[in-house]
């Protein structure tokens, strides 16, 4: 039975490389995948999924007015689509998630979405909110804070300073966002040298 998956994490946990790996595994077995990504994140060009280790692949960009269901149905008429993979799913709108639900329920096609859960102020993104509502399976892709604890928060850093106010969506990479555990997010400590604290790994 097909399901809607939401695989979430903080920044730099390997979401994009996981998507590329899943796509490769399907295609290696002769299956067809439909890969999509948000048109908002154009750091590597529109419609490109790229991992930190350099692997990339083309994808269909999703904009605010994109009808994912219509795109799927057109592609599925040409050749049966065996899986839909979506990167940067946090940037999707409510109607996008509802369209993905329709793909799963009406066409028995699994959909796997990758994205952030919460923003730099710890509020849910719209896409993440509705994925948490509708997903059949919610899975965490884990990464760690500089101290060794599990990272659960994303901090925005501008000119070396931790900021907790501003527009929700500002596209950036390692130069602007840092994954932190809850303790160091709340303390505003973005690395082991901040405020003279040394990095100590804790279980």
CA pair distance 99, 96, nearest whole angstrom: 5
Task: Check if 88 is active-site.
Answer: yes
Residue from 18, 28, 70, 88 carrying the catalytic annotation: 88
- Strands of 39-95, DSSP E: 48-50, 56-58, 60-62, 83-87
Answer for the pair 154, 179: CB distance below 8 angstroms, yes or no: yes
**Contact yes or no for 156/123 (Cβ under 8 A):** no
Q: Measure the CA–CA gap between 99 and 60, rounded to whole angstroms.
A: 15
Calpha distance 141→29 (Å, rounded): 25
Q: For residues 175 and 158, what is the distance between their CA atoms, to the nearest angstrom?
A: 8
Q: Are 189 and 195 in contact (CB under 8 A)?
A: yes
The residues carrying an active-site annotation are 88
């Amino acid at each position: 039975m097909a399901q809607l998956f939401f695989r979430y994490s903080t920044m730099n946990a390997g979401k994009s490389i996981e998507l590329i790996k899943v796509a490769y595994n399907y295609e290696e077995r002769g299956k067809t995948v439909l890969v999509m990504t948000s048109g908002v994140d154009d750091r590597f060009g529109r419609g490109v999924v790229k991992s930190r280790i350099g692997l990339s692949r083309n994808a269909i960009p999703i904009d605010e007015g994109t009808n994912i269901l219509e795109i799927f149905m057109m592609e599925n008429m040409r050749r049966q689509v065996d899986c839909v993979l979506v990167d940067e799913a946090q940037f999707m709108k409510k109607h996008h998630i509802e369209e993905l639900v329709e793909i799963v329920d009406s066409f028995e096609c699994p959909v796997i979405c990758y994205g952030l859960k919460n923003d730099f102020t710890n509020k849910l993104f719209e896409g993440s909110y509705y994925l948490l509502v509708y997903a059949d399976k919610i899975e965490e892709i884990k990464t760690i804070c500089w101290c060794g604890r599990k990272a659960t928060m994303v901090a925005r850093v501008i000119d070396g300073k931790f900021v907790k106010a501003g527009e929700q969506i500002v596209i950036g990479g390692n130069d602007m966002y840092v994954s932190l555990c809850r303790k160091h997010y709340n303390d505003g400590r973005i690395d082991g040298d901040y405020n003279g604290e040394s990095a100590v790994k804790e279980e």
